[in-house]
Structures are given as C-alpha cells and as structure tokens.
Amino acid sequence: MEFADALYIGECYLVGWSTGGGVAMEFATERPEQVKGLTLLDSVPPTGYPMFRKGPDFQPILTEPLTTKDEVASDPVQIIPAVNALKAGDRATMKHIWNLTIYNLNQPSDEDYEVFLDGIMKQRCPVDVAYSLLTFNIADRLHLIKCPITIMHGEKDIVVPLAWAQATFPLYGANAKTVIFENAGHSPISDMPDEFFAALRAALSV
C-alpha cells in the first residue's frame, strides 16, 4: 500500500500471482474502495500455504505440519536448496528448481529466462516468505473485498494444487468467478500465454 501511495496510484486493478495473490488480497481488504477488480493467478489460498515435515524419502508427511520458522528454515526440500543457491549465486541450481516446479511444462525463452533469473537471484528472505505463507490466513476478511474477483488456476499446478485452491473457492463469495486452464501448471503465463492474456483482458474489462 505504501508503494501505491508513493506512486500516487488511485483506483486500480490488482493482479497477484502465487505469493503475490496473498499481497493482492491483503490490499483489497484494506483498501476496498481503491480496488476495482482483483485477479488471483495460481494464488496462495486465503487460508495459507501449509508445509509438512519430510520423511527419509524426502516426501511430505501430511500428518506432521510445520508450525515454526525454525522448522521452515530446516526444510530439506523446499527451502534449504533454494537458500543455498541464493547464497552461492548459483543460477543453474535455481533454474533447475524453477524447471521442476514453476516452469515444469513450458520454459521461457533463454533470453527471457536470464532476465527472470536476474530477479529471482535478488531474493533475500525465502524463509520469511515461506513462513508468512504458512501463517497467512485472510479467510475471515474476504468479505471486505467489494470488487469482482477472478480466480485463475492451472489444472496441472504442482505448487498450489488445484484441489487445494478449489476447496477455498466458496470463501470468496458471490463476487468471484473462476477460470481453469486445463493445460497449465503454476505459470499459465508461459504455459498458455494466448489463453491467459485473453482471460486477463476479460477480467480487466469489468
């Protein structure tokens, strides 16, 4: 909100991807009169993003959720590899992580990917972000959002599985509509760009 104020942004449409969806929801609940439309793209659910203890096979133990920041920082699968890559400036490892999770269906062009990696490598607080997502819960404030909401989600998303997202769709109320991209993962922007931008233009025309 301070960023918007610094740029003298008045009424606006918000589009939030992944973690950015949580930021956009927060903004829309705090400034409902300012937001004319809200688009959530493969967003963190309004009830937060759980993380689980990993077993000897490095698979999540779904009966053992993480609850503390120290537990998050010690996660051997989702956190430690990314933290180590950032500290070492290891673009190759970070690209590998993104290829496994974000761009697992379609990758950006080499030129675009290098630009994206420039931004990715500037991350300084991945543990804080993960813990914030773990503790994020805005479900009891969604009713404060007064604008139309468009929820877009890739059917093959492995970061925020569609089933997780769908379980929370009713929480958004009557102002919300959904767009499911059948052949997209966590990044419909790169997986189905034509379909995504057509849907986004429609969402921004409300």
Give the separation between CA 167 and CA 190, rounded to whole angstroms: 25
Q: Which of 35, 187, 92 is nearest to 25 (CA)?
A: 35
Q: Are residues 200 and 15 in contact, defined by beta-carbon separation less than 8 angstroms?
A: yes
Give the separation between CA 58 and CA 47, rounded to whole angstroms: 25
* Joined tokens for residue 35: 């937001």
Q: What is the pLDDT of residue 1?
A: 75
Assign 42 a pLDDT band (cuts: 50, 70, 90): very high
* Joined tokens for residue 146: 């007064």
- SS3 string, the chain, reads CHHHHHCCCCCEEEEEECHHHHHHHHHHHHCCCCEEEEEEECCCCCCCCCCEEECCCCCEEEEEECCCHHHHHCCCCCCHHHHHHHHHCCHHHHHHHHHHHCCCCCCCCHHHHHHHHHHHCCCCCHHHHHHHHHHCCCHHHHHHCCCCEEEEEECCCCCCCHHHHHHHHHHHCCCEEEEEECCCCCCHHHHCHHHHHHHHHHHHCC
Residues 51-65, mean pLDDT to the nearest whole number = 96
| The CATH number of domain 2-49+136-204, selected from 3.90.1150.10, 3.40.50.1820, 3.40.640.10, 3.90.245.10 | 3.40.50.1820
Q: What is the pLDDT of residue 22?
A: 97
Lowest average pLDDT, out of 3-12, 52-61, 92-101, 123-132, goes to: 3-12
Q: What is the pLDDT of residue 202?
A: 94
Reported as a single tens digit per residue, the pLDDT across 81-100 is 999 999 999 999 999 999 99
Q: Which of 192, 168, 171, 193 is nearest to 182 (CA)?
A: 192
In the chain, which residues fall in CATH 3.40.50.1820?
Answer: 2-49+136-204
Phi, psi of 67 (to 5 degrees): -130, -20
Q: What is the pLDDT of residue 3?
A: 76
